Structure 1
């Protein structure tokens, strides 16, 4: 085959896809735009650029070099955003530590990632004190604080974050390097085994930023994220780079608001005071906010919210729409950087009977996402809205494996596609709808019942505050659905089965769902990022009712 490579002038510049290049346009075109941290810090993009340079110089003074790993334990803050840029722009790797894990799991991730430098918020010092002396790789720690604190005895720090930045030069010339080097690492909060490390290159993060930005901005109105918005994440920045949206927000040069530790009053106050118009979160966080006693007094009519992490219940979506919130779903996972689909509503469907259904679907794939729904032989299932299979994907921003875990990496990528483990169907218009996780499908006789669809119907009962459905072993049926219900008011099993029968009679659920068993509980166990922890629920409740 002939060499078809394009000819290049000898002095032509080969523009690498590096994180540093995401920062240039907003600093030039919108340097006075604001970045806000609670009620504690407010500065311009111009100052942000200077602080990124100061942080880079401070890290170099701590002997950080390309290939080293810098770990961060912090709330959602301006500091975290600065680390999103300065660390990979040095050619180092940013490890966003999941502070919701147990001390032993955090120790495992720090050692497994081979962290060299650890930046830690004062609130997490008691946690760190539990594992001190057992951290093998970290050679220096930096203290992050909102108020002056005295570190516990035995913990030594190279300095305090703001003091180190104040001493550092505000100029730094960031070099070019290979766009395929690793930029970030974090650990999945899977419900089995040890956390798995996923990783992304500079190129992948840039492409994810551009692809997701294009998709979010493509809608004429509904769910659109654009330069006039005010952004505030309500997904932890340690979790998949806060879904990558801080990179998008910075690239667009929009006002950004970082809430620190999540508290309902603080979040709602910031939305109103700072004029927040775009956020993202998991359903449990939104549920918490919408149950705030003052929610009816708040003006949320300009707020757009992207929901991910787990299925969006129709009842929650309907309640949000009543309050004027523009709510819709997206889909991805830790291994996919994460965004793969968005459930934006076409203009023609706004106000129609289908609008709620579309908002709660998984959505349509982003540009550059090759998403298939396949059977066990990797054959595509029909796009008829009913046939189900596993979602498998290819995209330029998917993790290429699990860190130091060849066996699970090959299992993830078997057949040349990344296997999500999610069961879904697709309709003729291209909308994907996840019906369950493969491991969470309830197998009654020879029929599969979706635990997510059952949850969506049960939550519509007025006496149900929260619900999770798992499979309960049964000698006759194999499994029966067990609904773990947090009640709000009087509730019994008969009332829920009667409620469910109404949907079965309308053809919205298989009659096998009438085998439902109900157990009232005080709370539903969640993972560290707010997802329902069905593995733990099965361990605690299956076979015990």
Structure 2
């Protein structure tokens, strides 16, 4: 066969080699449990990754084995990412916010051999030690001076382990389809399911994410990835930043602390950041209370849940920060659509319409094919109003779940995301709901997401959720559940009245209840499943 071009495999190892040689002097800054501000370079990081690779080999680990991590965003976690995957092993990030039973399940299901663990998270794993028999030992990510007392067996100190090793390592030549990382869904229905990323899927995702109309990272940027590295590989920023030479600032266990984030942004001159809406609300609250500014910050990406208008509006109007929206999921590595740069033809829209456009999930990134499918299985037009199930396919989208005995794709090779939405003629995706959360009242669909967005825009509301509950007349009706900001109170009539004129009148919930807090999943999303259980016996007042 005539092959006019080279067929160099797309591997994380090749990315690492490039980053070390070309961007090796770029800084990596971390907050860790044992150092409030650690700093070194990419060259230092990959030198230590080679030491770690040697250490893992001495522990008997071999290509194909799985190494778990229970850790925050910091430099040691970065080293583990590269040392494990580039050795031909699988880096399995464990979400410390999962329930113990879920952690036990995914450690066993993922067949973790060793687990690298942040010292602050050791107590989380200790109760599981007799329930995870395949795990041979634990590597605590600190130095000897900060090693915690623990009941775990076979415990090693990270710094002592790698200090004994050579900084030279002969990385294996890997096929680009070699598995590199394992991440599990949050398990909102049944057990969490594993998604196994390959070197190829990771590199292609990385190329897409650095495009100008997506994250647009460059060597001029300083990136603060607040989205956890245990959540879909930190949206890939730990790969894309080294690829282009972006300085990384990693917040460690302080990723949800508004004051720490503000300090890091200002002192490290952060230009771009990424996180879920709750993080941006925390940062906004701190900025408002302290009177601080974030003058270096140019743009943020909000994903994982619908972005409240208040985040978009206040970041833009008060702090001159562009808010960009991303949509995807664990099964998509996670990038699917992105709402960054606006097509010039749409920039002249009235401000209210432009704001609505900028809060949509965005346009498909090249590499992601999307279709909207109706209840009859037929593809719907991109007309901005025909809503149906969102299906996707592409080179960094799941083909099958890890060790799962049911089909993952439909008969035509598409993955059904579980989201409901529509596409307009410019290719903008509007997420209207999750399939399992959409409310059907009197035969008509109601979007819980749109109702929630309207409710949370009330200046006194901290958080809001809408669920559908059985109704004797309408089959289902929406119930609004609200958490007020500290020190604020309003009555039910005022809250429901706030929605009038903002949504269709028949969409307005039939009742409203106030609670101290809402249940959340391990990834920070509101758990509708738990809310439905909590209000299973709710009685309508009408």
Name the TM-score, length of structure 1 as normaliser: 0.92
- Structure 1 residue 512 corresponds to structure 2 residue 513: no
The alignment yields a C-alpha RMSD, in angstroms, of: 1.8
- Number of aligned residue pairs: 525
Query: Contact 2:140–2:157 at 8 Å: present in 1 too?
Result: yes
| Aligned equivalent of 2:277, options 278, 283, 303 | 283
Query: Contact 1:343–1:363 at 8 Å: present in 2 too?
Result: yes
In 2, the alpha carbon distance for the partners of 1:250 and 1:351 equals 37
- Structure 1 residue 367 corresponds to structure 2 residue 366: yes
Say which SS state the counterpart of residue 480 (structure 1) adopts.
strand
| Aligned equivalent of 2:104, options 95, 107, 111 | 107
Change (3 A) 1:227 1:46: same
In 1, the alpha carbon distance for the partners of 2:213 and 2:323 equals 16
Q: What do residues 209-232 of structure 1 show as CA deviations (whole Å, max 9, x unaligned)?
A: 112222xx247xxx6322211011
Query: Contact 2:23–2:242 at 8 Å: present in 1 too?
Result: no
Structure 2 stretches lacking a partner, 5+ long: none
What is the deviation of 1:411?
4.4
Query: Contact 2:269–2:296 at 8 Å: present in 1 too?
Result: no
Change (3 A) 1:46 1:154: closer
1:420 paired residue number:
417
Q: What do residues 443-479 of structure 1 show as CA deviations (whole Å, max 9, x unaligned)?
A: 1111000001111112222232211111121011011
1:239 paired residue number:
231
- Structure 1 residue 203 corresponds to structure 2 residue 203: no
| Aligned equivalent of 1:525, options 510, 519, 530 | 519
1:155 paired residue number:
153
Q: What do residues 230-253 of structure 1 show as CA deviations (whole Å, max 9, x unaligned)?
A: 011111101100011211011111
1:318 paired residue number:
313
| Aligned equivalent of 1:265, options 253, 259, 264 | 259
In 1, the alpha carbon distance for the partners of 2:203 and 2:17 equals 13
Query: Contact 1:34–1:256 at 8 Å: present in 2 too?
Result: yes
In 2, the alpha carbon distance for the partners of 1:331 and 1:36 equals 27
Query: Contact 2:266–2:296 at 8 Å: present in 1 too?
Result: no
Structure 1 stretches lacking a partner, 5+ long: 504-508
2:444 paired residue number:
447
What is the deviation of 1:300?
4.1
Say which SS state the counterpart of residue 419 (structure 1) adopts.
strand
| Superposition pairs of residues 47-58 of structure 1, within 5 angstroms | 47-58=44-55
Query: Contact 1:125–1:151 at 8 Å: present in 2 too?
Result: no
| Superposition pairs of residues 146-225 of structure 1, within 5 angstroms | 148-157=146-155, 159-214=156-211, 217-218=212-213, 224-225=216-217
Q: What do residues 84-105 of structure 1 show as CA deviations (whole Å, max 9, x unaligned)?
A: 1110100001110111112222
Q: What do residues 86-131 of structure 1 show as CA deviations (whole Å, max 9, x unaligned)?
A: 1010000111011111222211111111111111111122122211
Q: What do residues 139-184 of structure 1 show as CA deviations (whole Å, max 9, x unaligned)?
A: 1221112761343245331x21111121111111212122112111
Query: Contact 1:129–1:155 at 8 Å: present in 2 too?
Result: no
1:404 paired residue number:
403
In 1, the alpha carbon distance for the partners of 2:7 and 2:382 equals 42
1:389 paired residue number:
388
Say which SS state the counterpart of residue 305 (structure 1) adopts.
strand
2:432 paired residue number:
435
Query: Contact 1:469–1:483 at 8 Å: present in 2 too?
Result: yes
- Structure 1 residue 343 corresponds to structure 2 residue 339: yes
Change (3 A) 1:154 1:328: closer
Query: Contact 1:107–1:135 at 8 Å: present in 2 too?
Result: yes
What is the deviation of 1:304?
1.4
Q: What do residues 287-318 of structure 1 show as CA deviations (whole Å, max 9, x unaligned)?
A: 12111254532224523111111111222211
What is the deviation of 1:431?
0.6
1:333 paired residue number:
329
Name the TM-score, length of structure 2 as normaliser: 0.93
1:506 paired residue number:
none
In 2, the alpha carbon distance for the partners of 1:154 and 1:140 equals 8
What is the deviation of 1:485?
0.6
Query: Contact 2:218–2:245 at 8 Å: present in 1 too?
Result: no
- Structure 1 residue 256 corresponds to structure 2 residue 248: yes
Say which SS state the counterpart of residue 178 (structure 1) adopts.
coil
Q: What do residues 497-517 of structure 1 show as CA deviations (whole Å, max 9, x unaligned)?
A: 2222222xxxxx222123431
In 2, the alpha carbon distance for the partners of 1:492 and 1:218 equals 43
Change (3 A) 1:138 1:286: same
- Structure 1 residue 306 corresponds to structure 2 residue 301: yes
In 2, the alpha carbon distance for the partners of 1:19 and 1:423 equals 34
Say which SS state the counterpart of residue 416 (structure 1) adopts.
coil
In 1, the alpha carbon distance for the partners of 2:394 and 2:401 equals 17
Say which SS state the counterpart of residue 232 (structure 1) adopts.
strand
